[in-house]
Amino acid sequence: MKRMLAPLVLLTIAWPAPAARSAENVEIEADVVYGHKDGLAMTFDVLKPKQRANRAGVLFMVSGGFYSVWYPPENNATLFKSLLDKGFTMFIVRHGSSPKYLVPDIVEDVRRAVRYIRKNAARFGVDPERLGVTGASAGGHLSLMLGTTGDDGDPKAKDELLRAGDRVAAVVAYFPPTDVRPWILPTSSYYKTYPALRFDAAKAEACSPVLAVSPDDAPALLVHGDADQLVPLDHSRNILAELQKNRVDCELLVIERAGHGFSGKNKDRAAAARDAWFEKHLLKKDREPAATK
């Protein structure tokens, strides 16, 4: 393998945090520290089914416009109820947030989170080879970065955690930006709106998953609305073409007349496709293919 987006409100539009409810069937381990920088802790929450856990895990990238926020982990027990009911353990991953941190920094954060989970898989009751990742918009971008640029770790690294790999086994990305090169130009409206995009242009290729696709990438499901004006559908179509060219298992589910974020039946349809993709690739179950366009 080779080695955004809306402002903070996008996270609310794309992945609305519901009112906290009982998580009586879910064991919650909140604020697990997977690293530190600038004196700050980087954390994720673990949500594990109390019964029938299947030893597969799914990481959710908490990111909208490359802003990452905290909200009660009980909210996510509701948001991801369908995956939890199927036995998946959820990891709710937060990264160093815009505006202080830029995209290259953020990518390294989520890589570290995967390394931490893989290294401590026994503690969390998951198989390190059966980890999936999902997210929306900026979170979708980060999910695809993990799916296309994973490695097996550096055995010579001084930092013990960097010796662990950061590969994932499946990706589901909702309306993801896949090529940030045009967005980091000072004349771009994205550059002006989203501080995380104001990084060295020399790093733009390495932060564009469409350019990193290779045959050993993780299987990827892309879910995108054909009326998305913020991250146009072509972002998903372009990386789909690269994945197909490299014979990586991939699908594109197009939600007709949907913009940047889903609700109602569209949200349910997207979630059902997501769950089926993870069942297929993390549990090796057969399923009907998603509708493509």
- In tens, the pLDDT along 190-240 reads 999 999 999 999 999 999 999 999 999 999 999 999 999 999 999 999 999
The rounded percent of the chain whose pLDDT value lies above 90 is 87
Instruction: Decide if 84 contacts 47 (C-beta within 8 A).
Output: yes
pLDDT classification of 1: cutoffs 50, 70, 90: low
Q: What's the whole-number average pLDDT of the chain? A: 91
Q: Tell me, what's the pLDDT at 284?
A: 73
Q: Tell me, what's the pLDDT at 292?
A: 43
- What are the chain's domains? 8-282 (3.40.50.1820)
Residue labelled with tokens 């026994």? 122
**DSSP, residue by residue, 75-131:** HHHHHTHHHHHTTPEEEEEE-PPTTTS-HHHHHHHHHHHHHHHHHTHHHHT--TTSE
CA–CA distances in Å: residue 34 to residues 14, 151, 233: 25, 18, 34
Six token digits for residue 93: 């991953």
Residue labelled with tokens 């293919």? 289
pLDDT higher at 149 or 75: 149
Residue labelled with tokens 């999910």? 143
| Nearest residue to 207 via CA among 146, 154, 250, 252 | 146
pTM, rounded to two decimals: 0.91
Average pLDDT over residues 146-160: 96
